[in-house]
Amino acid sequence: MLNIVLLEPEIPANTGNIGRTCVATNTRLHLIEPLGFRLDEKALRRAGMDYWKDLDVTTYIDYQDFLDKNPGAKIYMATTKAEKVYTDVAYEEDCYIMFGKESAGIPEEILVENQENCVRIPMVGEIRSLNLGNSVAIMLYEALRQNQFAGMNLEGHLHRLEWNK
């Protein structure tokens, strides 16, 4: 099972959307405090819809608490400062993909300590970053693809409609 880690997320709608994506992909969500909202906030519930109750979510008091409770975890860190592109790495089926808060990303001191595991999503121009929910979806689905979408529905079925004559 893959893991998404949000370090100090600030916007409840982003976290709600990410929670919904995690439920749809059987991915664990890890939230590292401080959060910019309360977990019972209306905007979070609205974005996560009725899926939030099915989410496998763990909260941590800080980054060190997260590390202490997940020893030996393989953590990839999403940042615009990385030299490698997110498609350049092979995601293990139980790895962690970490994203920083919307206003500042992952702190530089954490990135420097983990430089070999930093990855970026390519963009043109001087745009600061993509939306957090979009970034999570892009990288999570690449990791799922590399793991052959294990346990996921791979085909849909259209229903044939009969038209009245």
Known binding-site residues for S-adenosyl-L-methionine equal: 100, 121, 129
From residue 25, alpha-carbon distances to 4, 20, 111, 129 in Å are: 11, 9, 27, 24
Of 26, 31, 96, which Cα lies nearest the Cα of 58?
A: 31
Residue 110: what residue type?
I
H or E stretch at 77:
strand 75-78
Q: Are 84 and 139 in contact (CB under 8 A)?
A: no
Binding residues: 100, 121, 129
